[in-house]
Every structure is written in C-alpha cells, then in structure tokens.
Structure 1
Amino acid sequence: MRKDIENYLYKLTKDYSQTAKTSFSASSISQQVGLNRSTVSSYLNEAFRKQKLLKVKTYPVSFLHKQAFAETFFEANHLEYDSFEELFSEAPTKNKEKDPLGTIIGAFGSLKEKINQVKTAAMYPNGGLPVMLLGASGSGKTFLAEKIYEYMVEKQIITFSAPYISHNCAQYFNNPELLSSVLFGYAKGAFTGADTDKEGLLDAADGGVLFLDEVHRLSEEGQEKLFTFMDTGEYSPIGNDSVRKKADIRLIFATTEDIESAFLPTFLRRLPVVVSLPSFHERPQPERLQLIDQFFIQESNILQKELSVSSKVIHFLLDADLEGNVGKIKNLIKFACGNAYAKQHDNQRINVKLLDIPIENLLQPFSSAKVTSQRLMDERVYLPNTEIQPDLETSERKRLKTFFTRLLDDYKKVEDGVLTPGQLISFATENVVLLMDEFVFFTPEDKETSFFSFITYNIRSSFQFMNENYGFDQDGNKILSIANYLYVKENQDFLLEHTDWITLKNSLLHFLEEQMRDEVWLAKRFLNSLSLHLDSEVLDEDIVFIALYLHSMNLTMTDTSTKAIVLAHGYSTASSMANVANRMLQKNIFHAYDMPLGITVDEVEKKVFQYIENYPVEKGLIVLIDMGSLNLITEKLASKISTPLLVIDSFNAPLLLEVGNLINNSQTIFEISEQINETLPIKKQLAMPKADKKKAIITCCYTGMGSAVQIKEILQKSLGKTGETLTVLPYDYQKLKENKRRELPFHIYNVLAIVGTENPEIENVPYFGLDKLVNGELIDEFVQNIAQHFRVDDQGLKQELIFNFSLKKMVENLTILDADRVLYLVSETINEIERVLEITFDANKKYLLFLHISCMIERILRKEEVDKQEDIDEYVKENRVMMEKIHRSLQNIEEKYTIKVSSLELRLINDIIFS
C-alpha cells in the first residue's frame, strides 16, 4: 500500500509541469489511490521523515517525490519549503541561455518565419498572444507547442514551475458540451452525474500554458465562453454563472481543419497569430533528411544497436507520398527498425532494407514534386548513444562546411578590426584553391553516371556562354573542379541552419562585392546561366565560393568600359553591322538586337533592360537605334535607369566605328557624346537618370585608394542602418581634383559630402577633413549634414563617429583594458550623466569624457592617485548635488570593475562637464 502511494507520487512528480498543484495534496492523492485521507497523510509524513519526499507548506500541504523531482528538475537543497516558488527559486542558473525553438529542424529554414511568429506571441507583454497552429495530422503541431512552452520557461516569461497542460479535444467528438465542462470545470448539479464541484483545465493551467489540440471540436457556445476568457481573463464554471474565476494562461490552439469554416468569426478575431505548418513533403530535402536521420538515431539509441540503412530506404522515405506527415515517417522508421531487429537481434549491426517497411506502404506512389533528382546517397550508419552524428556526411561536405565556418570567423575578425579585408580575401582564396585542387582529383563512385555527366555538360555550356560574352576562358580543370564541387553539394543549402551564416551572409556578400566586384559579378552570371540548365536555384554560398575561386585565377572583367548596344529593324541588320564593327575593332564592343518592323517603344525598352540585367553598365550605356522617336525613347529609358544614357538615332557603319574607337580608348560617355558631334552629323540625346538619385558620401585620400577604402569602412560602421540607404564611395583623389563634377559619381549620385585627407575642392560639396573628425571639431557639422537628408539619432551617430574614428585606438594606446568593454560601459555612463543632469554634451566634450573616464578606471585599478586638492572639502560642499548625481551615474562602472570613485576623481569629471 505504501509502495503504491510512493509509485503514484513518483509518476505525479515526473509529470509536474502538466499537473495541477492541488494534485500533490493528501486529499487528492487519497482519491486517486483509493485510500482514506488520514491513511495517506500518515504514509506521506512517514516518507517525508525518511527524507524520501519534499514538503511544500501551502494550503493544502503538498508532497513531491524527492528522487523524481531531482531527475526532472534539480537536486533540492532542503526537504521543506513554504511555497512552490521558494522551491523552484533554487533552480541552478544556466551558464548559457538556450533557445528551444532554435533546436527545431527547419528553425532557420522552412520554419524560420513560423518560429519568429511564435516567438513574437510568446514575448508579447501582458499575457502574450494566443497562437493557432494549422497543419495536417502529424505535421508537428504538438511538438511545436511543447517547444513554445520550453521557450517561455527558458526566457523566464513564465516560471520554472509553471504548468503545461495538453489536451486533445478530439475525444469529445460526439459530446462538445462535455468538452466545455472539462475546459471550464463545472458546479455541482450542472448536469446528470455532476455530484461535486469540479475544476477544469483553466484551473489546472493557471500561471502556465494550455494547449488545446483539435480545438475545432468546441461548440459555438464553448468558443464564445473561451473568447470571453481571452478578452477578460475571467470565466465561470458550467452550471454557475454567478461565480467568476480568474486565470493567467498562455493559450496555444491547434487544428487540422479550415479555420474559416470551423470557427466563429468572433473567435478568429481573437487570434492574432496563426501559424501554418508545412507537411513533410513541403519541407526542403535537407530538412526531410535531417528528420529521417533524427528518427533513426532515436531507434539506434532505443535498440542499443548500430543501424545500417540502405540508400533505397532513405530515398523511399524522402520521396514516397505518404499520409500522416512526420508522424507517419517516424512510425515507419520505428516499424522498419523493429522488423529488422527481430530478424537480426543477435548481430551488433542491424541492416535495415526496403523490405523491412510494410508492403502496403511500399506500394504508395512517389510525390512527383519531390523526387530526388540527385544521385543515390550512400548507405547511412547510425550509432547508439548519440544525438548528432556528423559522420553521416561525406568528408568532402565536412571540409566545405569547415571552410565556411572559418570564413565566417575571419569575417567577424574583420568587423572587430583584428584582420584587414585583404588578409581575409587572401586566407579565403588560399583555402578555396586547396579545396578545388582536391576536387580535381576527387573521383565519385558514379562519376560516369548520367547525373555527373549532366552537370559537366552544362558547366561546359555555361563556360562557353561566359567566354562569348565576358571573355571567361574555358579550362578542363576549372570545369572538373566546379563539377565535383556541385556534385559533392548535391545543390543543397547545407548552411541552412548555420546561425552565423544566417546572420552574416548578407553583410558578407556585400563586403565581397566591395572587395571583389568583378569576381562576384562573374560568379553570379556564371551560376545564373548554369541554374537555367540545371533547373536549380542559385545559392548564396555558391556565389561566395565561386567568386573566391575566380579571384584565385586573377580574373577580372575583360571590359569595364562604357557599354553599347545596337537596335535595328530587319532580320539581321543590327547583328550584321555590329559583327562587322566588332571584327574591325578586334573587340566584342557592340551587342546587337534585330527587331521586327512592328516593334513598339515598350518592346524596345524591354530589350534594353534585358541587356542591363546581364551586363555591368555603371560607366554608362550607349543605345544606337534606327527607328526615330528619339525623344520618346530617351525619356522612357532615362526614367528607369540609374546610369548615364546616350541614345543615338539613325546610325551607320562609320558612326559605329567612331563610337567603338572612343570606347576602346577608355573615353567616358560624356567625352564620347562631345567628340562624335565634331566628326559626324548625328541626332543624339545624353540623359541622366530621372529617378531620385541615391545619396552618397565620397571618401578620398591624396596618397591613393587604400586609405579612402579604410575611411569608407569606418564611416559605414558608424552610420549603421543609415549606411544601407546611403552609399559611401571611395574615389580617386586626383580625378576629383582635376575633373571636379565631370566625374561619374556626380552624375549618378547626389553627393552629400566628401571625407578625406585632402580637399579636392568641389564646388557646393562640403568637405570634412579626417583630422577634424578625429579631434571632434567637425563631428557636429558632419552629423547635421547627414541629418538634413536622413532620419538619424543625432547623438547616437555622433557617439559612433567618435568611437570608430579615434576613441578605440586612443583607449588601446592609453590603457591595458579591453577597449570594447570599457568604451561600452563609459558610453552608458555618459548617457546616464546627460539624463540625470538634463544636459546634452557637444562632440568635443563627449570625446574628452570618453578619454578621461577610460583612463580614470585604469588609474583606480592600478591604485594610482590623482594630484592632491587642498580645497576639495570646500569644493564638495559647493558642488555636492551635481557630484552626487555624477557619482550615481558611475555606479555601473564601480560594480563592473569593483572600484570606488573618489571625490577627487568626481571633481575632475565635474570640472570637465561644467568648465
């Protein structure tokens, strides 16, 4: 009898999060085990004295199984507590905050937006937002609800001891009224059989999470009562509307039905967050494979056997059109492993074959949308007592992942100023070359199969396209290396769940475009061409890898000059004239479009923009056309382009040669426009972009482009999000000095300012000398200039400029402290001083405070004293109020560095502020 009570309490404690707290009382336990209350109470107190139970002195008194509690939560320090809150306050703090939702397969892929939705709902103040999960049976709604609860506990949105109550409403299919009574509780006499008052799920879930699966089983009356509770936090038990109960509950619903037809509109209006979960076959292949791996790992752990699963089983599970989604896949894997285990239980390795799957499932058709087009995978081996098995991947894929991990680590070092951009490019290029050298000699087992041949053939076609259009030479080793690279990857985004990649890839791509513009552009064009042949998407990781590979070959654009296209009516008029001109110029300068006689201006426009999409036209575009309507064509094109445009009407062969020669001689589009007038009578129009010009700041340096690029990087870092809409453009100082506003940036951009080491003296463009920014003299003026065009945090931008231009280096030179940490703390302190004193510092004063307080911290840590001040006592009396406010603002620094700021130090800060 005693053992029955102990076993029951053990199970009850293990299920604590899904159990009402009143269930741990002697009275409740006596009802469950069928013994009178006094007997149960006697047994419980005896077990407590033997230190087998924990006692919580609530009303009524509760008992928890000590061992079960330790297994589920943590080792309790005492046996007796005044409340559950006191017990759970002993929970050990975590060294690193976890993200249970981030561990879900697909959290950074197909489920990324869904996860963000539920996080928003969970974090929303005043009780969060109700969440409705939609999806077919087996799509993971119950699993996601549990993870939402874990996320709330981890983020301390709800307490560690908060209940999680999960209830499937489908069991009340024929009795929705009974479902309402279970949900809200009922009063004695509410219906036949209601002999006592009974608490409902809302009572049990108070303070925690209630998950109602198949919630569409609620009657309309039940839905009305539920949304009234969602509005007010109050409800009445069935049969007694005079009683008003309150509960604080986070609600999660789930249904497989169409919500528009299954729920009242008034109920749906209370659901701000509706999350639709994809079926198994709507998931990307990498995610489906991860789920399959996870289930086989679980079975390996259960069976305590090594599992070898044939490639045919994996492909069947990936592609068969099975009902039941993830749940069905999991059950099939469980059955197949059990079936194989029954036949081979004496073996250390269990071989799982296709025939271990139930025959009725093997006859299911394959999902036409998801059949794996790639080569058959190798068999996959799963080991017991593991959670993640990276050895399921090939060594080549592991090396690729390692490359990207190192690249991201190095990129973070560039952002932190530990590495220079040039060093990053050099290291990454070397690693790419090593990998590609390996891929040249990599021999796939099925190298002669159609898939590998298909890749190789289409890479050759893409190389030919690149050669014809961009001078990109074919090379057998290049083709082989890229073919093996794509073969190893199987066109999978294997960085789908790499957190750093998700966070940094956009800024990394932007960085590479700045450092290797030509190579990134060529990589995109090559991969775009290849993707059309392979019917696959272009992945960002492939752009990065191929661009670095091209950089290793010292490839650059063969032609970055002004571009020119020829449009003429007739079957081959344009192409014939362009070919003749290109042969005579010995360079592929003109691109031709032959046009039918009835072509409209809109169709001409499409042809031009088709060219712009495929070719870089930053230096401007010359359009030679034979159809007249010069004004109309120029106006339509100029309204949409972002570069200078020269339209020439009624061209001939001599004109083509003249234009081609000028392009060959690296003349700008403006120079070409001026010079062709002198030799040939033509109709032309030179147009600047009519669309609003993007705003820009030009950086320059008398000594060359290197420093201009460094100034640009500091400015971009300072500008933060504003830098996403404001272009910072390094440019050649000598060209600016000589050509002034004739240089291309002034035609393409609205130049707000020039920052540099020497003033190129451009009329009506403000110049900010680097020295004046470093010493803070022109910071205010610079920020005012930016603020005229963008909504910026003036004070924040000033502080960022001070940080990035000089402070960090100054602090690193003057102290041995961690510069980033000390500057962050000092920044917070200065903000606090401004707040408590109700003043705003100018840039110079703020700069001085940064340096002074940073050095003060180290001075105190070294126990160095400032000069004696004979009048300190009198000074403190006169300035007591201000000094106390300043001292309070310094408390964070005192706590972080365990120091005490003296009156002598406070006086110095006070003098800086008010002198």
Structure 2
Amino acid sequence: MRRIEKIFQCLLKIWNKADYEYLLKVQGTTTAELAVKLGLARANVSADLNKLVRLGEILKIKTFPIKYVPVEVVSKQLKLKQLYYYEINNLNDLLNTDQVEKIKQGPTAQRKNSFFQNPLNEMIGYTGSLKKATSQAKAAIMYPPHGLHMMLVGPTGVGKTYFANKIFAYAQYKGIFSAETPFVSFNCADCYNNPQLLLSTLFGYVKGAFTGADKDQPGLVEQAAGGVLLLDEVHRLPPEGQEMLFYFIDNGTFKRLGESEKNRRANVLIICATTEDPNSTLLKTFLRRIPMTIEIPTLDERPLSEKIELAKFLFQHEADRINKDLNVKIDVFTALLLANNYGNVGELKSQIQLTCAQAFLNSIDSNQVEVGLHDLPEDLRQFWLENPARVRRSAHVSRYLDTKTVFYVGKKSQVLEKDNIYELIENKVHHLQRQGIAPEDIHQYIMTDIRLHIKHFFKQPLPKNKLSKFIDPKISNFVEKLKKIAEANLKVHLDQRFIYYLGMHIDAFFKRGNQTELLLKDEVEKIKKLHFAEYQVALIFQKEITATFSVKVPDIEVIYLTMLLSSIRTLSEKKQVGVLVVAHGNSTASSMVKVATDLLGKGNIAALDMPLTVSPGEIVRQMAIMVKKLDQERGILLLVDMGSLGMMNNRLEKMTGVKLRTIKNVTTTIVLDVLRKINYIDMDLNAIYSSVERDVAHLANNQLIVAKEAKIILSICMSGTGTAEKLKQIIKKIIQKIGATEVVQVKTVSVLKMNEIIPQLAEKFKIIAAVGTKRPSMSLPYISLEDLIAGNGEQRLISIISRQGDLPPVIEDRNVVVASMCEDVLKKHLIYLNPTIACKLLQNWLLQLQLQLGVDFSNSQQIKCIIHTAFALERCIRSQTLKYTERPSKKLLKSLPVIEATLNDVTAALKVKIPAGELYFIAECVLDD
C-alpha cells in the first residue's frame, strides 16, 4: 500500500465510528497526530493530506492547528448529498444554510466518492508496462486551461480505444468533466478520400448545402463540445481533413458546410489514435497541434504477469456473460499465452471467447464450466501437441497460477488453494501420461515442478503468526525435531521456512488420510539411487511419524518426502553452469578435459568422445544423457569441435528442457578458460558464452564485421557522443545479459544528423529499436532515456531483442541500468571500496531486501539506496560515520532488523561493521519512497 493510501485508511479508521456530536466537537485529526500514529515524517504526511484535499477525499478544517476528516464521514453524519468546497473554517459552517450558499460560490469539485476508484489505476499494468502511458495521460488531462490534445500510438488490438475511454473517465473522476460531458468517437476511415463527407461529418451542414440536405445537421465537433472527440485511425485522414482540423484546433471556430458568414465556437479535447508512425503518415503542421504522443505497448511487450492478469480479466468477463462459474486449467493459460499466432489483446479476447464457447457446449448440463485443453481452438491445440517444450514452459506460468483457477459469476477469480503438492504431482503425471511422454522423462518434469513449487513457497514472507496457528501444535513441535535430523544427516542449514513447509505438508498428509495413489511406481528405485542420502533421511522421518502419531506412513509418502528433501537441499547448494566437451575421435574430448581438471581442479564438466563410426542419432542420444546429468539448473555450455555437433543446440534443448549454448572449434585453451570462469569467477551461462566468444574471435568492442542483414539498436543523443556513448555501453550490457552479442549491435547517432544517417543505416542493417533523447522520424520501437533509467525500459528492450532470434531466457537477475548508473557514480567518489564489487553486493542486498519486505523498488529508488549505502560503508572504513539525532519512527524500528539482517552478507564480504546511526540513515533511505 502506498503512503498516501495508508494515511487515508488511518484517517478513515479513526473517524469511521465517530458519532454526530463527537465529530462536531473534535472537528478532525491533526497532521502531527497522524505522523506519530503511522511513524511517518510530518512533512510527508502534510504533503499527502493536502493531495487528498485536492482529490476531494478529505476536508481541511482551518482551525489552529489545522485538522482533517474524511469526506464520506462528514457526508454521512451531517447528511449532506454533495460538498462543493474542501477547505472550511469549521464543520458547523456546513449546517448553516447561508454559509453553505457562500461556500457554493467557491470552486466546484465534482468527484467520485472514493479515492481508490481512479479509472487509470483500474487498468492492468498501470504500474508496469502502462506506467509511462498513464502518467502522460494524467499530465495531458490536468494541463491548464483545457488539457493537451493527445495521439495514441500502437498496433491494432492493443487497446487504444479502451485507453481513450479510461482517459475520459479519469477526467470525470478528477472533476474536470461532469457526468453529462460528451465523449464522441469517429473512425476516420469512414470518410477516406471524401473531403466533403468528412467536412459535413465533423462540422455539420446547413439545409440546402448539398442534394438531400433537407435540414440543419450539427457535426461531431458540436456534439463533442465541452468534452472529448476520439479520432480513430487518424492516419486515414486526407491532408485536406488534417488542415480543417488544425485550423479548428488553432482558433476554436468552425463553419458548418454551406455556411458563409457565421462562425461557431466549440471547446473540444481531441484524442487521436493510429496504428502507423505519425511522423510518416500525418502532416507536420497537424502533428505540431497534438503535443502529447502516448505509446500503448503490444501484448508481446507486456510481462507475463500482466498477460496472465489480462487473461484472467477476460475469463471473468466470459463467466459473467454465460452466467456460469468457469474452472480453467493452467495448461489452457499456457497455450493461450505462449502461442505466437496472435499478438494483441483483441485477438487474445477472441481466442478466450472461442475457448469458453466450446467449454460451455461441453458442460451444458453442469452448473460449472470446466475449461481444458480440448476446448481450445484447433490451431492452439495443434500448437500444444506439437511443442515438445510445453511442460517446461508451463513452469513460468505456474509462478502466477495454480493448477486450476475458478472464475465465479459476479466475483473476482480465485486460485484453488493447495496446502500440499499431492494434487500438483498427480495432475501432472496423469497429463504427461496422456500426452505420451516417456516414463523416463516424467521424473525430471515432476522434480522440476516440485522445485518450482518449493521455490515459490520459500520466496513468500514468513507468516507473522506462529505455525501452531495454522496446524496442530503437536505437529509444529514435531517438525522442529525433523529439522535437526535433516540438518545432521545432510550437513545443511535449513531455515524457518523448512519448518513451515514440512509442517503444512505433514498436516496435509494426515488430512488426506488413505487417499494415496501409487505414483511413479516405475521410478521409485531410480529416485532411491539418485537421491540416496535424502531417501535415508525420509526413512527416518517415516519411523518418527509412525512412532509419534501411530499412523502408518506408506512407502509412496517416503518417496514424496525424498523428493521434497532433495528439492529443498538444492536450494541452499551452490550451483554451477555445466560444461560438456564433445569431439570426434576416441579420446580427443577426454584428453582436453583431463588437462583442464588436472590444472584447475574438478568442476561441473564432462567429456564425450565420438568415434567417427557413431551415427548422428546415437550422438544426440548420448549428449542428451550427459546434459541431464550435468544440469544444475544454470544451463549447459557445449564445447564442440566441428560439423553437425554445432547445430544440435535447439534439438537438445527440446529433448532435455535444459538451457544450452554452443561454442564450436573447441581447443584445450578454450576448455581451460571456461573451467576457470566456472570454478573461480562463478559467471552465468550467457556471460561465459559471450566472454569466450569474444576471446576466440579476437574482436574489438566496436569493430564487429557485420553482414547486410545484421540487426542494430540506435543510441541517440544531441551530439552522438557523450550520452549516446554511455547509452551504448548500457545497451551492450543488456544485449550481453541475454546472450545476443552475435545477433544485435549498437550504433550511436546524433540528433542533428539523425534524418541523414538513419536512412543510410537502414540500407545496411535491420534497425530493431531506438533508445535515447529523441524519437526517430521512421517507425521504430522507441525507448526514451527517462524510461530506460527510471521506468521499465530495460524490460521492453529485452523483449524487443529476444524476438530477434532463438535466444535463451535471461538468467541473470541484476538490473543492468541500475548497475551502470551506480558504478559510474561510485567510481568517481569511492576511495577504499572497489566500486564494481560494492555495487554488485548491494544489488544482491536489495534483491533480498525487496523479497523480505514484499515490495518492488523503482530504478531510481534502487540507485538512491545503493549509492547512499556505499557511501555509508566508505565512511565506516574511514571512521567518519554519521550520528543519528532524530527519534526513530515506529516504522523505521520495525524495518531495521530486516535491513540489518539482509546487509550481513555485504558487511561480511567487505569486513565492515555498520554502527547504529548509519543503519538508521540507511533505513530512512530505504523507506523514503
């Protein structure tokens, strides 16, 4: 919850139960009282209270000291239908008829009753992919005196008309427009190449203006007077039509068709919408009259979490339409969201409607409609069946959804809560068996799902209540004992989350009773061998459960416990990228690996010798087996010598579900370099691949030899040197992060020569995006400097690059933009600390801190926290620490232990102790949003 919302809720809580007499006697709550109660700085509380007054949510009582009270409380207790002014001297003034009449002369503020019904904030992605668009829309609507005309840009189906309607609703919400204000929509394609029809439609006509004009007819401009005119497909307007409009925009006057003398006036806010690049399809003179351009992102550019929310919204809409609850399986979401045969929200909506229509037909006699894979349109079903990686990909969706989601009629969707993994495993096994997946592959898929299930659980903040509040206290105490047994036998440290997880699992086992099913019976012996140590501990657990609770624990439960222990254990172990060296000959690969391990020690590396007589099919089969053995969930680097081995990357990925990169022409030197980076530098898969490729090719940073079809990103600034060069370095790091150094390059461009240079570059390269301080005139995905640094520009750029080839998903979590900005500052000011190491440590700290606090920091907030904390660490080293003289707030004291605990890794690595005063300042910095 944002600070302003907390303040409003606190004020509402204070006054919700107040009666008539108490309200008139006390009048309200002071800023100081709220600041103390919430543990916030008085200045921040004061600023937010005044915002709430301007929003019409609270009344400001100008006593001494000034007091505040919620509008809805005053309206309810004083029985007022409408308030006309939100700053008064005394609440009793509202009871005085003469005084109320005087107050009515003040500024009106026709607003909705709830601060939490901002129409723009109701849109999915308003804090994510639509953050910049909503911010621009708010600025345009609020700009005095009558707002700014806007241009909405985006492909068909992204929701431009929907967004325009939300802008209009926001203006009503802010009191700029009333409930009676008109909103008129017009599709410019209807009058394409017919200027007379366009003129009469927009501005109206008088009787006799043309044949058939038997009466005066007002145009759309008159109909929209005082409100909004939406011009859809504005690029279809002919030049004459654009000239008519910009004359009206400039002067506010127009004539109906057939009028010669009378000038009419209208004040209209114009919102244009187009699927084309405005700079190439509209007159410059017209564009100058539309100062605000707002880009609506495509479905591809939106993160998976938003796509899922959009799909859930559309399913809920269908549930309400058919008046039946929908029970949608996770595989349906996966197929809908990962198929690439459509690209926008409108098409997603159509696919969901088709799916629900088929499901409705199949469940015509049931009260609840079951939506499964068999209900999908034919093309989506075919996609699912032909995609060997469908189960692996569904793991991404499972971060946000459970196996089923129920959409109740007239209610929000609800995920079916599961307090155990039995249903997860059973459903998955049955599904894999129906799909004909080989039995030897099912175990790998199930283990992956269990690890993801546990990882998701472990990422959640610990409940504030003790475990005994959720399960039988006897089980809670018993699990503490099991934790000690596991730690002693497996030589690992398990935190409180292990207790919560295993406690709820055992509690679920007891509730489940005898409803056990012999899953994976053919895999039991394999599990025992692969996870021998965990299996032995699970057997001890079995004996302990039986002895303590007098309950028979079946063997299959021992297997479940084995898999759980194995998954939990791997979470705490350091994992490495795997390396598989494959070369033709009887001992070529083995010899290279032996030299490397003799010199640098053992590592997650293996060799596969391929005699020339071995068939390609056998080579692939043996490579797949080795890849699975080496995989520690960080991917595998294939080092191959020649020929077809270098072209097996995609095939092996589909067979194994493991992320792979391939480097050809392997030598002993390359093997040595790779093993060194894995053992001593701990680089990730993409970083190792990029580093080795650069070394092997002997390429200079800016001297890449490119083919005509090479892809580039433009880095744009005024001179093409300073800012553009810095941007270039940041973009290159992002490209390197996702392993696209062979696919995409960066070129710097000066704004002054942009129109000359960009067409020349377009002849030699495929330009996939532009980043910088000015949008190019040609139609390109564009990311502003502001959005890259403070917004979601990095995610958008990754999305654009990832569509340029068969690239692996991003492994590294570090934010490239934050790292680059911070390192630049720290290199200039730090004397004792290594800026790069300090920055990396502090970025990791912020990741942990956000996880613990359950928040997401913006780029600017991360940069502020990293730089402040780095300077604090430097002061500690120099024994020049700051003293904290303020009285710490309750909120600060509550957050301090978490901040201090998450900083332990940083202070331990740097061998620095941070005193209490500096910790207080760091906490202030973290909490100050």
Please classify the TM superposition score into its range, dividing by the shorter chain length.
Answer: 0.3 to 0.5
The TM-score with structure 1 as length reference comes to: 0.39
